[in-house]
């Protein structure tokens, strides 16, 4: 475990002892050097006793161990041992450095608790939200048989809602539709799942006088959460019972909470879906060439149907490695296509968000971490080019080039951006092996482009398969510079395999 000098850590655990004893709780480094130490006394008891102590680290050590020792011979039971920094993101238990990176993306929503995690391979291992609320030590936890690990569910339904609020984002709550990867409940037996869905919304939005709203209030959040979206199932559309189960859950939620936006698993990007929904989900994991070519994916989507929620996208496998520049550049082209089709694409998010380097079950991810360090992959950094897109005005553009098969470009108007100034942001993706020279022409402005204050930001590297790492966390990150030749007409060069943003101050 990682500890840092001067920082405080709270340890909580339960103990039973058959003798009155003095316990020593310590952080221990190399050669058993004590880096922090507190004493606690536990009396002889057959009942569980909760102990809470704070340790202040006297040194920084990235491989410390937590030790609970005693010199009194006896029998001891320990349970529910938790160690957390006292100083966390917004004071709610999340690691500050990691969630500052999330906050820096300015997310508008948080989709949780996940995709297949919601369902399990079998329904007995599905996510049960009612078992994840209340005091953490009373949560039974469950086996996540999708990814083969035990979770204590300390990150539960309440924590997901709280995290969304802390990020100033809207929660998107994913419900189980009575379906796991290998089991399905018939509609005649669906009532427990329907009630579970309704209870979960009551927990989030109900008053303190309701059954589940009172549970939320007792957990320290008397004010209802701003829950507006609910997704029914995950990648279930082709399964036998999904459509009928979906309709039952959809209709019941709408009858009680008509403002809740319901999200269907059925993809409507090519053909309009034949079920009521406010949004449909679209997932894509692909190679870089295919992802680049998906720039035009939503050009033909019906504008009369539900809007699209691109809730999982990523380049993966050989083209991605642990997170390559090649993957990020292809994804940037795809995202420009989503931006271009923002009249029908309402939301999008990369998946997955975090990777613990000690458990590489899925690659790549946006943010990689261990106990004390972290970095963003190029796919994380490419999203920073789009953090201001929500609410911007998409401008009509024409791209005239002999290299159109490797270039994608777009323009948006950012108002009240950077000290309340007015900018035009032109993004150019070069998915080719050679630099490209372009002439940018802007027509119809009521004022001129200003050199002072205009900037260029470039994400690129010497090799398309370059990645970031703990040793080189900033090898592939956006680099900003002044745009000396900023004007309504200007010549620019974009490097091979790059994403470039020209922010022109108007």
34 and 161 housed in the same domain = no
Would you say residue 292 lies in a domain?
yes
Would you say residue 91 lies in a domain?
no
Determine the Cα angle at 261 with ends 215 and 278, to 5°: 160
pTM for this one?
0.95
CATH of the domain at 399: 2.60.40.1180
At residue 109, φ and ψ (nearest 5 deg) are -155, 165
346 and 415 housed in the same domain = no
67 and 121 housed in the same domain = no
Q: What's the rounded Cα separation, in Å, for the pair 154 and 330?
A: 36
CATH of the domain at 233: 3.20.20.80
- Residue 407, helix vs strand vs coil: strand
166 and 217 housed in the same domain = yes
CATH of the domain at 68: 2.60.120.260
114 and 208 housed in the same domain = yes
Of 369, 386, 403, the residue at which a domain comes to its end is: 386
278 and 322 housed in the same domain = yes
**What's the total number of domains in the chain?**
3
Q: What's the rounded Cα separation, in Å, for the pair 134 and 215?
A: 7
Q: In terms of residue numbers, what domain contains 242? A: 96-386
Instruction: Please give the DSSP secondary-structure letter assigned to residue 32.
Output: G
Angle of helix 157-166 versus helix 191-205 axis, rounded to 10: 40
SS3 content of the chain, % helix, strand, coil (to 5): 25, 35, 40
Would you say residue 109 lies in a domain?
yes
- DSSP strand E in 29-89: where? 34-42, 45-56, 65-70, 76-85
281 and 222 housed in the same domain = yes
Would you say residue 3 lies in a domain?
no
Check if the beta carbon of residue 504 is closer than 8 Å to that of residue 442: yes
Tokens of 490: 């200007």
Of 347, 366, 386, the residue at which a domain comes to its end is: 386
305 and 361 housed in the same domain = yes
Per-residue pLDDT of the chain (506 residues; tens, 9 = 90+): 999 999 999 999 999 998 888 999 999 999 999 999 999 999 888 899 999 999 999 999 999 999 999 998 889 999 999 999 999 999 999 999 999 999 999 999 999 998 899 999 999 999 999 999 999 999 999 999 999 999 999 999 999 999 999 999 999 999 999 999 999 999 999 999 999 999 999 999 999 999 999 999 999 999 999 999 999 999 999 999 999 999 999 999 999 999 999 999 999 999 999 999 999 999 999 999 999 999 999 999 999 989 999 999 999 999 999 999 999 999 999 999 999 999 999 999 999 999 999 999 999 999 999 999 999 999 999 999 999 999 899 999 998 877 668 999 999 999 888 888 999 999 999 999 999 999 999 998 888 999 999 999 999 999 999 999 999 999 999 999 999 999 999 999 999 999 999 999 99
Of 85, 118, 136, the residue at which a domain comes to its end is: 85
């Amino acid at each position: 475990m990682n500890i840092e000098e001067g920082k405080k850590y709270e340890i909580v655990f339960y103990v039973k002892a058959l003798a009155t004893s003095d316990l020593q709780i310590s952080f221990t480094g190399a050669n058993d050097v004590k880096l922090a130490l507190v004493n606690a006394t536990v009396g002889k008891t057959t009942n569980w006793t909760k102990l809470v102590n704070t340790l202040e680290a006297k040194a920084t050590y990235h491989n410390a161990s937590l030790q609970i020792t005693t010199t009194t011979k006896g029998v001891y039971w320990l349970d529910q041992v938790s160690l957390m920094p006292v100083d966390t993101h917004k004071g709610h238990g999340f690691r500050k450095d990691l969630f500052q990176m999330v906050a820096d993306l300015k997310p508008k929503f948080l989709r949780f608790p996940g995709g297949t995690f919601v369902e399990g391979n079998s329904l007995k291992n599905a996510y049960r939200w009612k078992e994840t609320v209340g005091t953490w030590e009373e949560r039974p936890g469950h086996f996540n048989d999708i990814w083969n690990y035990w979770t204590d569910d300390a990150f539960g339904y309440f924590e997901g809602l709280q995290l969304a609020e802390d990020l100033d984002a809207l929660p998107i709550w994913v419900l189980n539709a009575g379906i796991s990867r290998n089991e399905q409940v018939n509609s005649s037996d669906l009532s427990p799942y329907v009630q579970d869905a309704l209870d979960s919304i009551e927990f989030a939005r109900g008053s303190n006088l309701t059954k589940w709203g009172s549970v939320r209030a007792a957990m320290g959040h008397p004010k209802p959460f701003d829950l507006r979206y609910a997704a029914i199932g995950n990648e279930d559309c082709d399964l036998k019972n999904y459509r009928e189960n979906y309709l039952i859950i959809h209709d019941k939620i709408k009858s009680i909470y008509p403002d809740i936006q319901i999200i269907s698993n059925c993809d409507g990007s090519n053909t309009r879906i034949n079920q009521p929904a406010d949004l449909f989900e679209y997932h894509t994991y692909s190679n870089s060439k295919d992802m680049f070519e998906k720039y035009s994916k939503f050009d033909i989507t019906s504008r009369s149907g539900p809007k699209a929620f691109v809730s999982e996208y990523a380049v993966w496998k050989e083209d991605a490695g642990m997170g390559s520049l090649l993957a990020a550049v292809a994804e940037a082209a795809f995202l420009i296509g989503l931006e271009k089709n923002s009249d029908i694409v309402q939301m999008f998010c990369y998946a997955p968000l975090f990777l613990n380097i000690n458990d590489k079950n899925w690659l790549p991810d946006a943010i990689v971490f261990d106990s004390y360090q972290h970095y963003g992959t190029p796919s994380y950094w490419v999203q920073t080019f789009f953090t201001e897109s929500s609410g911007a005005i998409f401008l009509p553009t024409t791209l005239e080039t002999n290299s159109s098969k490797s270039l994608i470009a777009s323009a948006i108007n950012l108002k009240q951006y950077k000290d309340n100034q007015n900018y035009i942001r032109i993004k150019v993706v070069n998915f080719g092996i050679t630099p490209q020279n372009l002439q940018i022409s802007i027509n119809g402005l009521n004022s001129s482009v200003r050199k002072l204050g205009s900037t260029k930001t470039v994400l690129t590297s010497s090799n398309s398969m370059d990645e970031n790492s703990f040793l080189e966390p900033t090898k592939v990150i956006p680099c900003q510079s002044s745009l000396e030749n900023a004007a309504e007409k200007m010549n620019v060069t974009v490097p091979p395999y790059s994403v470039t943003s020209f922010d022109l101050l108007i």
